[in-house]
Structure formats: structure tokens, C-alpha cells
Structure 1
Amino acid sequence: FKGGNQDPVEWIEAFSRACIANRVSEERAIVLVASYLKGTALTWYNRETIEEYIAAITELWKRVDPTDRRMELDKIHEFIEGLRPEFVVPVQSAMPQTVEEAMEKAQALETAFSMGMDLSVYSMMPGYL
């Protein structure tokens, strides 16, 4: 998906059909979708704030699983996999037990990065932020 004049709903439907045809699980599709972004859509994805990402993934989960039956560990994994690379290891290192904990850790890291803080090894430890 490039953005611009391309219809995002049409693109998502085509992507979903391709995933079904290739027997890609919904969980895997969520992780894969970012790798198919190009142009302005990729720029938006790379600049997306944690708050925007949380809103987007929460909405996606509501569409994919309206009855909220998914395992908490699956949601944690999907959330972390969709983070920008600089957030993945620190959030994983915090060993969140709920997706809310993972979200809070990611938000704290984003705040630290935006303040220009140099995150040391100690800041990667669970409970530091």
C-alpha cells in the first residue's frame, strides 16, 4: 500500500484475500502487513507515534476478533512485533504480562526517546521506566 489515491479499504480487502489464499493466520497477517507498505504509507508508519499505533492495533483487533477471544500472550507478541525496531527489545525485556503493560512500557520509552535520553542497559531492565 502506497497511500495517495489508492483506496485503503480495497487494499486491505485484497491483502486479506491473499492471506486467506495462502493460509496465512490472522496473527501473522497483522505482523506482515507493515512489510507491504510503501511510499507515503511507509513514511507514516515509520513516524507513527506509540499512541497512534495503539489506537490502530486496538481497532484492528476489534475487527479481527470482535468477541476478544485471543490469548493475552498472542496480543502481547503481536503488539511488540508491530513496534518500530528501537522499541522491540526494551519492551520485550520488560516481560509484560498484559498487553496494557507492553503498551505502557512502549509509551514510556517513546517519552524517553523524545526527550533525547540515552537509554542505558539499566533502562532496559523490567520496571525501570
Structure 2
Amino acid sequence: MDVVPSYLKGTALTWFNTMGAREWENSINKNQSFTYLFEAQFCNPFKMSQWKHQLRNRKQRAGETIDEYTSAMEELWKRIDPKRKRTELD
């Protein structure tokens, strides 16, 4: 858990510094684990809806290479389906 703050910034870093989880995973009290609390805070239904909308409406931009476009689409998809469960876009 000591390295987590170095990967966060802004709102996520502020949240981490105040949230109190001290374990990455907690099989006994999962609602006290970092992963559970992080997903509850930042992967809520509103955010998921926003990301799905962005993915459905994302178009290749002028001057954007196919590799850049593909990378952007993959990043959006990872937000929506990080565990690769083949989530529906609705």
C-alpha cells in the first residue's frame, strides 16, 4: 500500500489520504479493502454510464493515427470492463 500514492493524483490522491484502508484486499471484511473502496468511489454507476457514452460516441479525430485511436478505445474499454467480463454497453 505504500506505493499507491505515487500512482494517484488530484481527487484520487486526496481520497486515498483520507479513506483509511490499509490492505489491498481483505477477504474477511471486503468493504474495508482498498480495491472495494476505490471501485465504490470511482467506478460508480454514474461514471460507468459516462464512460459507456464516451466509448459509444468516440470517433477517430483529425490527425489521430489508427494506433492512437485504438489505444484511446482500449483505455476506455479497460475502465468499463477491467476484469474482462465482456460487459454490455447497453
Q: TM-score, normalised by structure 1?
A: 0.26
Q: Quick one: higher RCO (CA 8 Å, sep 6+), 1 or 2?
A: 1
- Between Structure 1 and Structure 2, the one with more helix by share is 1
Q: TM-score, normalised by structure 2?
A: 0.34
